Chains A and B, each alone.
Chain A
Amino acid sequence: MIVETPRDGERLPGTAGQTIGPFFGFGLPYEHDNLVAFPYSPGAIVLSGTVLDGAGAPIPDAMIEIWGADSDGTIPTARGSRRRSPSTFTGFGRCATNDDGRYEFWTRNPGAIGGKAPFFAVVLFSRGLPDKLHTRIYLPEDEAALAADPLLASLEPDERATLIATRTPDGWLQHDIRLQGEKETVFLAY
Chain B
Amino acid sequence: MTDHTGHEDAQVQPTLPPPSIPEGAEAKAEAVAPERLIAAPDQVSQQRISEEIAEAHAEHERRVAAGERPARPTLLDFPAYRSSILRHPTKNPRLVDPETIELTSPAFGQRDVAAIEADLTLQHRGEPLGERIVVTGRIVDSWGRPVRNQLVEVWQANAAGRYIHQRDQHPAPLDPNFTGAGRTITDDDGWYRFITIKPGPYPWRNHVNAWRPAHIHFSLFGTAFTQRIITQMYFPGDPLFPLDPIYNSIPDQRDRDRLIATYDHDLTEPEFMLGYRWDIVLDGPNATWREPEGGEH
CB distance from B190 to the nearest CB of A (A): 10
Residues of B within 8 A of A69 (CB): 101
B100 at the interface (CB under 8 A from A): yes
Q: Are B230 and A125 in contact (CB under 8 A)?
A: yes
Which residues of chain A in 80-103 are interfacial with respect to chain B, using CB atoms and an 8 Å cutoff?
Answer: 80-83, 90-92, 96-100
Residues of A within 8 Å of B209, CB to CB, are: none
CB–CB A151/B24 < 8 A: no
Q: Which residue of B lies closest to A110 (CB)?
A: B101
Which label, helix, strand, loop or mixed, suits the secondary structure of the B interface? Answer: loop
Kindly provide the distance from the CB of A73 to the nearest chain B CB, expressed in whole angstroms. Answer: 9
Q: Is A39 in the interface zone, CB < 8 Å from B?
A: no
Contacts of B219 in A (CB 8 A): 27-28
Q: A26-B163, A28-B219, A81-B106 are in contact. List 15 more A-B contacts (CB 8 A).
A: A1-B259, A1-B278, A15-B282, A17-B72, A22-B38, A23-B165, A28-B155, A30-B28, A60-B32, A67-B105, A81-B107, A98-B31, A133-B89, A134-B226, A179-B89
Structural contact, B255 and A16, CB atoms closer than 8 A = yes
5 contacts between A and B (CB under 8 A): A3-B144, A19-B246, A31-B23, A83-B111, A99-B32
In the bound complex, residues from chain A placing their C-beta under 8 Å from that of B283 are: 13-15
Q: Which residues on B are within 8 Å of A, measured CB to CB?
A: 2, 4, 7, 22-26, 28-29, 31-33, 37-38, 71-76, 78, 81, 83-91, 93-102, 104-109, 111-113, 137-138, 140-144, 151, 153-155, 157, 163-165, 167-168, 179-181, 183, 217, 219, 225-226, 228-232, 246-247, 249-250, 254-262, 277-287, 296-297
The list of the 8 closest CB pairs from A to B, nearest first, reads A14-B283, A27-B155, A31-B24, A128-B83, A190-B285, A92-B106, A29-B28, A79-B109
Q: Which of A6, A75, A181, A185 contacts B101 (CB 8 A)?
A: A75
CB distance from B170 to the nearest CB of A (A): 11
A8 in contact (CB, < 8 A) = yes
Contact assessment for B281 and A23 in the assembled complex, using a CB-CB cutoff below 8 Å? no
Residue of B nearest to A90 (CB): B106
Instruction: Give the residue of A55, A83, A129 whose beta carbon is less than 8 angstroms from that of B112.
Output: A83
Number of A interface residues in the complex (CB < 8 A): 90
- Contact indicator B108/A79 (Cβ below 8 Å): yes
Q: Which of chain A's residues have a CB closer than 8 A to the CB of B168?
A: 22-23
| Contact status B2-A60, CB under 8 Å | yes
Q: B278 to chain A: which residues have CB within 8 Å?
A: 1
CA gap between A77 and B101 in the complex, in Å: 11
Identify the interface centre among B26, B89, B180: most chain A CB within 10 Å of its CB: B89
Most chain B CB atoms below 10 A, which of A15, A69, A98? A15
B62: shortest Cβ distance to chain A, in Å?
Answer: 20
Give Cα A72 to B225, complex, Å: 20
Q: Judge whether A190 and B287 touch: CB under 8 Å.
A: yes
Q: Which residues of B contact A169 (CB under 8 A)?
A: none
